[in-house]
Amino acid sequence: MPGSVTSVFGGPDDFHAALREDGVLSLLVTGNGPFRARLTQVALDHMHLSTGDEHLSRIAFVGVPADTLLVSLPIGDRPGPIWGGVETQASELMTFGPGQRIHTRTTGPCRWGAIRLSSEDLAEYGRALSGAEFALPPIARWRPRRAALRQLRHFHHAAIRTAEARLAALANSQTAHGLEQQVIHALIQCLSARPVDQETEAASRYRGLLARFEDLLLGEPFPSMDQVSVTLGISKRMLREYCRKHLGMGPDRYRRLRGMQLVRRALRSGAEETSSVCEVARRYGYRDPRRFLVNYRALYGELPSATLQRTPCRTATRSKWPQVESSCNR
């Protein structure tokens, strides 16, 4: 059954939670200042459409769900997020096949669009419309004909605008089905030509190494950079090179920021009542309590003790039609 939700967020944790169904495994804010984001998600019978407005730079680690194609769609005239170190222009699409894991980052305020649908459904529709096999590379960048991209953006925007305006049009199954068919047809038109860029085997290996780096940062005890380098089987110099391209920063800084994020998440979970702040900090690689406190306050604007006292705000919930707008400030 079609449905939609529009949410306004004042904290990255709830924003991340709302994006988990789209495969966002982690989200790390790298910009300074108060966090603000708005997210509209539309669920049709066979696909999901979404649009996000973000005001701070961030890095996200995305794992595309099984049997799913993820499409990154330009919104407006601004460049979209940087995927795996590849910058996309307002005239380009990025597609990511089932199971692909990749880092994506923004460098400031950003508005983006996305389409998520079954890869099998797209292949079936593609064969029906083109009369030939319709298979996409695991990761590719596309520069569709201007008219085809304009159509795709128009139908995507129509669904988002209807949801944000709280109109009941999507509750009509025939209307929702017709819109879905138009989006699929426009998407196939955009992907009918050859991609302008496909991921090379070398680039795929580098991306896989960074995905393993991300996995290591979820383990306990928190690994040192020496341990990361040895486990991945690459030199620190090469790891720095890959991280600067994909993450926009060196591995040591990313590790510190991810560690601080995990400390904050542990403190906010309410599961650390019997542990001291210093014990939690040491678990994630911080040995100097004074330096940890200074860095924590500089990053989050409060001391860890204040974080422990804050009451978590409920995550914005999804609902079937009628569309619900919710907000969560942290």
Residue 246 sits at φ, ψ, to 5 deg, of -85, -35
Which of 111, 246, 112, 132 shows the shortest CA–CA distance to 191? 132
Q: Is the peptide bond before 138 cis (omega within 30 degrees of 0)?
A: no
Class level of CATH domain 201-309: mainly alpha
Question: What's the angle, vertex CA 224, arms to CA 273 and CA 239, rounded to 5?
Answer: 130
Domain ranges of the chain: 3-199, 201-309
Buried b (16+ CB within 10 A) or exposed e, 47-74: bbbbbbebbbbbbbbbbbeeebbbbbbb
Hey, what CATH topology would domain 3-199 get? Jelly Rolls (2.60.120)
Residue labelled with tokens 């999804």: 318
What per-residue confidence (pLDDT) applies to 162? 84
Is the model's pTM score more than 0.85?
A: yes
What is d(CA 152, CA 133) in angstroms, rounded to the nearest whole number? 22
Walk along the chain (330 residues) and give the pLDDT tens digit of each residue.
568 889 999 999 999 999 998 899 999 999 988 899 999 999 998 999 999 999 999 999 999 999 999 999 988 777 689 999 999 889 999 999 999 999 999 999 999 999 999 999 999 999 998 888 898 999 999 999 999 999 999 999 998 988 877 666 566 677 788 889 999 999 999 999 889 999 999 999 999 999 999 999 988 788 999 999 999 999 999 999 999 999 999 999 999 999 999 899 888 886 655 468 888 888 888 888 888 999 888 888 889 888 887 645 433 333 333 333 444 444
